[in-house]
Structures are given as C-alpha cells and as structure tokens.
Amino acid sequence: MTLDELESAINEWLSQGATDIFLSEDQRTRVRINGEVVPVNDSTMSRQDLIRLWEACEIDPASANEIDSRYQMKNGGYIRANLYRAMGNLSAAIRPIKAIIPPLDSLGLPTDLIRHWIHRRSGLILVTGTTGSGKSTTLASALEELNESRQSHIITLEDPIEYLFQNKKSFFSQRELNSDTAKFSTALRASLRQNPDVIMIGEIRDEETAQIAVRAAMTGHLVITTVHANNPIGSLKRLLNLNVDATLLSDCLLGVFSQRLVRLYCEKCGSQSVMSAAHTSKAQATLKGCDHCFNTGFQSRKPVMSHILIDTSNKRLLEGAISDLDFQDSMTDEAQTLHQQNRIPLSEVIKLESL
C-alpha cells in the first residue's frame, strides 16, 4: 500500500464516521465507530506500510518506541498519529484534527441554554462527561459561535487539540499540553497576562488549576472547562475537593452540564434491529448490521444532556447542601423518548442509568 493509498483509505474511513483508526503490522485495520472498535476489511497492514507512515511523520521506525506526531495529508487535512510498538510490531493510533466545526444548532442539544451561558462576559461554565462523550465537540461549537459573533481573544489549553479554529471575529491562541506548555496550571497562570476574554481549559485536574480558573472567572473572564465526573453534582464536589472556596464558586458559576452520547440505529438496517430481541434487551446485545454501518447496527450518535442552572436558590445550596441542588436529569428522559421512537435500543437507556 502506497502512502497515497493509505491516505485515501484514511479519508474514506473518516468520511464513514470513524473517530479513530488503529493500524498495526500483520493485523487487520480497525476503526472506532460510534464508540466500538471494528475491523474495516480482511486485509492486513505490512511492516513496510507502517514504516512508510512513520517516515512520513518524520519518525525513525528504527529508534522510536512511542511518539505523538501531527501529519498533514495531501488533501490539507491534519491527523494526529501516536506511533508505537506493540510486541515489537510497528503500530499507529490515528485521530483526525478537525477543521470543520459543526454549528451548535446541528448537535441536537438545548442550544438556548448553552447560548445563555456562553454569551456572558464573565463566569465559569463546567462541562462533565467521560472521554468520548462528545463534550469536546460541544465546546468547539460553542467557541466557534463566539468566533463568529464576538471580537475577542480566546485562549484554549488543550490535551490534545481536536479542532482547529480559524480566526474570524475572534483571535484564537490554541495551546497544547506537552507541545506548547508543560502544565495546564502554568499555561493558565500565564494566560492571565495574555489578555484573554475567554479561556477554555481542556480539563481541571489539580488544585492549582482549579483555583486559578475560579479567580479568572471572578475577574472578568469567561472560563469554560471540563471536570471529570459522572454527573453535574459530582463535578461540583470534585471542585470543592480541590479546595475551591464554595462562596467564590457560587459567585462565578453560571451553570454545569453533563453530556453523553447515545447510539442511533443505522438508517439502512434500523427497522430490522427494532424487530430483533436486542431492541428491548436490557443488556447490550449484538445487532446484525449491514455494510453501511460496519455491521454494528449503529450509524451515528446523538448527545443527551443534563444540567444545573445556577440561580439564586441553587447559589445558596451550593454553599451548603450540595446534593439538594436543582438538577435537571433530562438525559435519561430524552433517551427513553428516543427508545419509544424506535431510534435506540433499551440498552442505550440502561447504560445512562447505570452511570
């Protein structure tokens, strides 16, 4: 396989909805589609195929063991390739760096709520959700809306960069952990001297970052960040555990939302899935699928969301009985509706409830 052939195969898989591509010598190529890793065909990659890719990324296959690399394809698109060895075999985990950011309205989320938050001039917006919950896309779409509507300086601190912003009305400083800065906390502290209006922090992981983020939100910046937790209440507890002052937090917090993705049936074979036992099975069952959906039965995913809006009564509660916060657990309701509409199996609803 030449490099051109590999690039066109990568583009083809990405256009079919693959979010990750896994290549390894003597192995079938697999892609992650709607969260599941599936083989794309029966052919295997040769060592020479992998050597070509490593060399195109300017990495010496003879000496490197694992390394992150950014690579521009001939069509102009960028991919991130983590090149590594597995039992001596050259391998690559590939993910696109996306230049096309979906409009907020296209995501199927309650956009009024998100707009109400992101058009504020200062304050803190928290987003929770696990890896692969689609929260990076939501954040990118929200920032792109600011880019199109507001003349501002937007600093992003990311690990890794997933979307490339083009400066429109706003000016972006996109900074990546490891390649542009060693630590989120150092970059965040420095960002306050870079005169931003909006700061997006990929994730708050430590006390120092949490404290500076709150201080920035208190001093005329809009701060948007993610906190690793299962639900909005959990993310607030996590911040308090990082010794963020509850009074300061309640003063600057605009809202919290959590997001998950549910898998929608494939358009081509969905009716056959609805007829099968898997549709009403509580445990995840295998669907027959078709060529159109890599035999998974699912074609795309839709975000569902729960949130806490910080109003006067929730502000008071935030400083005391945090578990009593008025928390709109709408994601399960929405998933149940999708199941009743025969668009998702019951197991997708159960998956949300079990978190």
Q: Which residues bind Zn ion (CB under 5 A)?
A: 266, 268-269, 289-290, 292-293
DSSP 297: S
Rounded distance between C-alpha atoms, residue 252 and residue 239, angstroms = 13
Q: Of 330 and 342, which CB lies nearer to Zn ion in the complex structure?
A: 342
Report CA-CA distances (Å) from 303 to 22, 23, 130, 335.
25, 28, 13, 10
* Helix boundaries (H) for the chain: 3-15, 47-56, 111-118, 135-149, 184-191, 207-218, 232-241, 246-252, 270-275, 312-318, 330-340, 346-353
Within 10 angstroms of residue 61's Cβ, the number of other Cβ atoms is 16
Q: Of 54 and 298, which CB lies nearer to Zn ion in the complex structure?
A: 298
Asked whether the beta carbons of 111 and 238 are under 8 A apart, the reply is no
Contacts for 350 with CB less than 8 Å, ≥ 6 apart: 282, 283
Rounded distance between C-alpha atoms, residue 146 and residue 335, angstroms = 29
Q: Of 112 and 291, which CB lies nearer to Zn ion in the complex structure?
A: 291
Q: Which of 184, 238, 237, 198 is nearest to 118 (CA)?
A: 198
Q: Of 232 and 297, which CB lies nearer to Zn ion in the complex structure?
A: 297
Q: Of 298 and 327, which CB lies nearer to Zn ion in the complex structure?
A: 298
Spacing of C-alpha 339 from chain mean position: 24
Contacts for 182 with CB less than 8 Å, ≥ 6 apart: none
Residue nearest to Zn ion according to CB distances in the complex:
266
Q: Of 165 and 298, which CB lies nearer to Zn ion in the complex structure?
A: 298
Q: Of 233 and 338, which CB lies nearer to Zn ion in the complex structure?
A: 338
Half-sphere exposure of 150 toward its Cβ, with a 13 Å CA cutoff?
A: 18
Q: Of 2 and 41, which CB lies nearer to Zn ion in the complex structure?
A: 41
Smallest distance from Zn ion to CB 102, Å? 23
Peptide bond just before 303 cis, omega within 30 deg? no
Smallest distance from Zn ion to CB 34, Å? 11
Smallest distance from Zn ion to CB 98, Å? 24
Smallest distance from Zn ion to CB 279, Å? 14
Rounded distance between C-alpha atoms, residue 311 and residue 218, angstroms = 17
Rounded distance between C-alpha atoms, residue 70 and residue 209, angstroms = 27
Smallest distance from Zn ion to CB 17, Å? 12
Token code pair at residue 79: 């991919």
Smallest distance from Zn ion to CB 224, Å? 36
Smallest distance from Zn ion to CB 299, Å? 6
Smallest distance from Zn ion to CB 295, Å? 7
Smallest distance from Zn ion to CB 268, Å? 4
Spacing of C-alpha 299 from chain mean position: 18
Rounded distance between C-alpha atoms, residue 74 and residue 76, angstroms = 5
Q: Of 123 and 270, which CB lies nearer to Zn ion in the complex structure?
A: 270
